[in-house]
Structures are given as structure tokens and as C-alpha cells.
Amino acid sequence: GENVEQHPSTLSVQEGDSAVIKCTYSDSASNYFPWYKQELGKRPQLIIDIRSNVGEKKDQRIAVTLNKTAKHFSLHITETQPEDSAVYFCAASINNNDMRFGAGTRLTVKP
Amino acid sequence: KAGVTQTPRYLIKTRGQQVTLSCSPISGHRSVSWYQQTPGQGLQFLFEYFSETQRNKGNFPGRFSGRQFSNSRSEMNVSTLELGDSALYLCASRQGADYGYTFGSGTRLTVV
């Protein structure tokens, strides 16, 4: 099955700086890549997703890039704010089936 | 529109017992997936159901099982509980193949 690796496991940035989280996947057939944000004590929530026919997608301060050849995708958060502090999970799946998650990145934004 | 509902929210069981967790997906969502979340292991895929059929299964022992009913509600069962089964069990549903998952709040299972 699909194997997703996520780096770094922890990330600390100053408010206003950018944060980048990277993931790699193993199955070249994977074609759907969502990112989830999980605040402390809450459920994971979908924040952005990208499909394999697109190289980049943006939504306000967040963006995701995908490199199918290298089998890696990244989450970019610009102008970080304290409320961005959470655990972020990347995931990969084939046609949105059997979704496998990365181990998570704990992002801390220091005011 | 109601979200994904999981019951119960908290559960304490003794080693060796069995437990059943319930998940009601968002109305109209036919796909339901279950995940185990532990601090050290992240989100581990258990299984996925679509139209009452198990479509995929993760790498968990046979003690973990599930089912889906005709109204898309799903249950998962864990038999012969072990201490290591203590975790947050999350259910997620989606509208279709081109949509992301919506997670429930989870059931926190503690095995003592």
C-alpha cells in the first residue's frame, strides 16, 4: 500500500514568517493529496487539497505544490499567525480511496 | 447539515473485553473510513466502507472489524482488547471520490 513520509516532525516559526512542510509518497498511482489541520483536542479538518493534474494550488495564505516526478508535495503557509499553530497532516490516496497519512508536523507560531 | 457523529465520546474498558464504536456520516455520504490516532503513530488507517462493502483494510489484526449498514452508518468492533488499543478512534466520511474527508470528533478508548 501507499507509504507517506512527512518532514519535519516539529516546526517553530516566528509570527509573520513562512512555514513549509514536505511529504513524499511511494505509490506513483496516487492522485489525490489533501492536507489536514488538527488543533489541540479537535478533529482533523481539511484545509487544502490538490490532484495530480495540477502542480500548484493556492487559498489565501496557504498553498500546496506537487511534483509527480519526484513523488513529493509540500504545504506552504505565508505570513503565519499564532492561530496557525496546530498539527498538520499530509495524505495521499488513489482516487481518494484508502487514504494514508503522514506522521504529522507540529507547527508552533511564536508571537 | 449535521457533521459526522461518533458515539460514545469516551470509553473505558478492561483488557480482554470487546468494544463497539458507532459512526453516523454526513447525510448523503456513502463512504466511511476509520482511523486510529495515537501520539506516537499518527493517523493509522483501519478500513473503509462504501455501500455496505469493505473496500480497503489497513494493517491491523483480525481483532479489529467493522461493518456498514444500508443507511451508511458504520460500526467498528475491537475484540479481546489490549492495553495498546488505547487511542482516539476517528471516523471520516466523504461525498464522493473527488471530495476530501470530514472527520468526526472521535471516540477516546482507554483500556485498563
Instruction: Give the distance, in angstroms, between the CA of residue A59 and the centroid of all CA atoms in the same chain.
Output: 13
Going by C-alpha positions, the residue among B93, B107, B108 that lies closest to residue B1 is B93
Q: For chain A, 111 residues long, give each residue's pLDDT as a single digit of tens.
A: 778 999 999 999 999 999 999 999 999 989 899 999 999 889 999 999 999 888 999 999 999 999 999 999 999 999 999 999 999 999 998 766 778 899 999 999 999
Distance from CA of A16 to the nearest CA of B (A): 28
Q: How far apart are CA B55 and CA A98, in angstroms?
A: 8
Distance from CA of A33 to the nearest CA of B (A): 9
Q: Which of A43, A49, A100 sits opposite B100 (nearest CB)?
A: A49
The angle at the Cα of A100, spanning A99 to A102, to the nearest 5 degrees, equals 140
Instruction: Count CB pairs under 8 A between chains A and B.
Output: 50
* Contact present, B109 and B17 (Cβ < 8 Å): no
Chain A residue with CA closest to B33: the answer is A98
* Contact present, B87 and B38 (Cβ < 8 Å): yes
Q: Is residue B4's pLDDT more than 80?
A: yes
- Contact: A97, B43; criterion CB under 8 Å: no
Q: Read off the pLDDT band of B1 (50, 70, 90).
A: low
Instruction: Supply the pLDDT for residue B34.
Output: 97
> In angstroms, what CA-CA distances link A108 with A2, A23, A81, A85, B42?
28, 18, 9, 5, 18
b vs e for A76-96, b when ≥16 Cβ sit within 10 Å of the residue's Cβ? bbeebeeebbbbbbbbbbbeb
For the segment B7-56, what is each residue's pLDDT rounded down to a tens digit? 999 999 999 999 999 999 999 999 999 999 998 678 999 999 999 999 88
Instruction: Supply the pLDDT for residue B2.
Output: 80
Residue that the C-alpha cell 513529493 belongs to: A72
Instruction: Supply the pLDDT for residue B112.
Output: 97
- Contact: B103, A45; criterion CB under 8 Å: yes
Q: Which of B48, B100, B106 sits opposite A98 (nearest CB)?
A: B48
For the segment B68-109, what is each residue's pLDDT rounded down to a tens digit? 999 999 999 999 999 999 999 999 999 876 778 999 999 999
A contact test, residue of B23, B56, B59 with most A CBs within 10 A: B56
